[in-house]
Structure 1
């Protein structure tokens, strides 16, 4: 559905590349996470894929269409949710969606239904400029669905949202995946990537370090550990034990046999820990 080969992009039109030799492909109905710290090249890549930046070098195909030469049919099939709200502030939430719906020549969603989906129905007649930052972000998210996109680009879709709203947004993303929508998700939030993505790419300084599923990455780079709280001399101790090292297994069995264990939990590496281990960079 999305094929990227040897993508380069420079904002200075020289060899100081913001994105360098980036290649990946995304299958139809897949959620593909593009993960990296701020300034890694995530948004630059997305802007090239969506036609907002010119294709300078490399090949980008979106549903077999050349992203370097976008036309109306290209924009009819994609939806884009930006991290920073870009709305007509003097128009109401409903008017914003209605305005954008008229830009497409394909069947569109009911604006009020989209507002209801992101819990903005009661604010439909309120000017977007009077919305809180979180409400504006939800409106941008809803707007990205107005043309019933087959390919959906999401940039930090839950950034700054409260847990309840984040859960709603994530459930909508899961539902769209089930409907066959292909989703390109850029984020530095490893938790949402673990929850939602079929595969992820790690990008640092404009270059991809690796591509794989979160599960495979945990199996490849994680350690098999259990975290145990046990009582010793009247106080509670916490310790991690490897399930692969004989000495650790023997000590753990001894604690279990003595009946001193109070809690025991499996402990797998997080995607963030793996990212730091593989790239040597923190997500900030």
Structure 2
């Protein structure tokens, strides 16, 4: 067991930032803590890392208690915070060399980390001249420079453009492929659905659901939406198709809802109406909406 969090609580005045959170993370697992801003994700992560003491509950990290600050754990954990602070005027390579020196890391490790995060060509570039995505990748490299067993990443893809986010996904997959345990927070549900082995969905300081993304979606038993161009089929005929639960039409689409999409698609194929068709299955966002009854806020 890499991490065991048991009934942790954290309050700030009247605010219950974390309210009875419990979960475990296995070695080599990619575990995501999901939720909107203010859900309690960062506080939960900081308690797990040993940066904060909970008012109640306990944490066991790699078989040790992380609080009070446990010096034995420091070489075995890597932490990338929401806001990264680098040394002024140092290049990407110099940043990594400086972080590595704190752990007695040999110089060849710096080149390996630059290659892992795709910054080899930016090694001589001052940190201030790196793009947002490059800076995030450098921050992750700093968290990995000493080859930790478990890595904590707090919203590593926040504020990145879509291309930079996708590039960072590849880095995260490679980290896990090297046998590392990853615990990360995000409010991007689509991202977690692709990357995580298991996820915990949080809001208002509590875990609302926890399982593999596929099982959470499957257990929701949500309808599949078949989306067609408006006017493709008269609305009354769409509603009469076998397996249709509901159908409605707007100026931009005809949407058919069904829990048995196979007969619906077969009937549409018989009518030659598959051109431009889209099929949307349930996602983690649908799970969140079902659990909270309100729109997901980033």
Q: TM-score, normalised by structure 1?
A: 0.87
In angstroms, what is the RMSD of aligned CA positions? Answer: 2.6
**Is contact 1:255–1:261 with CA below 8 Å preserved after alignment?**
yes
Q: Deviations over 1:170-196 (max 9, x none)?
A: 122222223321111100001110111
Q: Give the equivalent residue in structure 2 for 1:239.
A: 255
What is the alpha-carbon distance in structure 2 between the residues aligned to residue 78 and residue 279 of structure 1? 33
Gaps (5+ residues) in structure 1? none
- Whole-angstrom distance in 1 between the partners of 2:252 and 2:42: 47
Q: What secondary structure sits across from 2:134 in the alignment?
A: helix
Asked if 2 retains the 8 angstrom alpha-carbon contact of 1:108 and 1:146, the reply is no
User: What secondary structure is seen at the aligned counterpart in 2 of 1:140?
Assistant: helix
CA distance, structure 2, for counterparts of residue 206 and residue 113 of structure 1: 38
Could you tell me whether the CA contact under 8 Å between 1:29 and 1:181 is conserved in 2? Answer: yes
Structure 2, unaligned runs of 5 or more: 235-250
Secondary structure in structure 2 of the residue aligned to 1:276: helix
CA contact (8 A) 2:228 2:278 kept: no
What does 1:157-172 align with in structure 2 at a 5 Å threshold? 157-172=156-171
Partner in structure 2 of residue 47 of structure 1: 46
Q: For the Cα contact (< 8 Å) 2:78–2:152, is it kept in 1? A: yes
**Aligned-partner Cα distance in 2 for 1:49–1:109:** 31
Which residue of the partner structure matches residue 127 of structure 1? 126
Q: Equivalent residue for 1:35?
A: 34
Is the contact made by 1:48 and 1:54 (CA closer than 8 Å) also made in structure 2?
A: yes
Verify: 1:271 aligned to 2:284, yes or no.
Answer: yes
In structure 2, what is the equivalent of residue 147 of structure 1? Answer: 146
Task: Say if 1:30 and 1:177, in contact at 8 Å, map to a contact too.
Answer: yes
- The equivalent residue for 1:22 is 21
Match of 1:202 in 2: 201
Query: How far apart are residue 165 of structure 1 and its match?
Result: 3.3
1:283 pairs with 2:284: no
Native 8 Å contact 2:176 2:182 kept in 1? yes
Query: Structure 1 pair 259/173, CA: closer, same or farther in 2 (3 Å)?
Result: same
Give the equivalent residue in structure 1 for 2:9: 8
Determine the structure 1 residue equivalent to 2:246.
Answer: none
Residue number in structure 1 paired with 2:240: none
Quick one: distance in 2 between partners of 1:264 and 1:71? 56
* C-alpha separation in 1, matches of 2:203 and 2:267: 44
Q: CA deviation at 1:80?
A: 1.2
For residues 33-91 of structure 1, what are the alpha-carbon distances to aligned partners after superposition, in whole Å with 9 as ceiling and x for unaligned? 10000011101111111122223321100111102133222111111122222111232
Q: Output the CA distance in 2 between the equivalents of 1:130 and 1:274.
A: 40
